[in-house]
């Protein structure tokens, strides 16, 4: 049965996906001033995290802990945005899902 011509006529070979780099960098979705703003935002939030870690003593640390949480969250979210917009993940997810994100 495996060698019968019926199966050869109706079965199509599996289409191969085009090869892409796993973390291929592309700047199609984030160009110009938007890219510069996101890069500066990421750098400044990292500087804020580092500056907060330099504080050795404080009298009332609740504000410092809040600043640490906000600056670290801003840094991680900025990295996520840069990763999504500057790699092939944008096409993988789809524009509507990226806008919801």
H helix or E strand, kind and range, residue 71: helix 62-86
Please tell me the pTM assigned to this model: 0.65
Which residues span the domain enclosing 58? 29-99
Q: How many domains does the chain have?
A: 1
Residue 59 lies in a domain: yes
State the pLDDT at residue 4: 61
Residue 24 lies in a domain: no
State the pLDDT at residue 88: 75
Residue 69 lies in a domain: yes
State the pLDDT at residue 13: 66
pLDDT means over runs of 10, the chain (101 residues) = 59 61 64 84 92 86 90 92 80 77 71
Residue 60 lies in a domain: yes
State the pLDDT at residue 74: 92
Residue 16 lies in a domain: no
Residue 46 lies in a domain: yes
Residue 19 lies in a domain: no
For 75, other C-beta atoms within 10 Å of its C-beta total: 20
Residue 5 lies in a domain: no
């Amino acid at each position: 049965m495996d060698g019968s011509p019926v199966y050869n006529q109706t079965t199509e070979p599996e289409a191969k996906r085009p090869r892409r780099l796993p973390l291929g960098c592309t700047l199609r979705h984030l160009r110009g001033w938007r890219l510069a703003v996101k890069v500066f935002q990421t750098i400044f939030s990292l500087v804020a995290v580092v500056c907060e870690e330099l504080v050795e003593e404080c009298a009332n640390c609740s504000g410092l802990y809040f600043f640490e949480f906000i600056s670290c969250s801003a840094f991680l979210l900025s990295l996520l945005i840069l990763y999504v917009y500057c790699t092939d993940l944008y096409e993988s997810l789809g524009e509507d899902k990226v806008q919801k994100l």
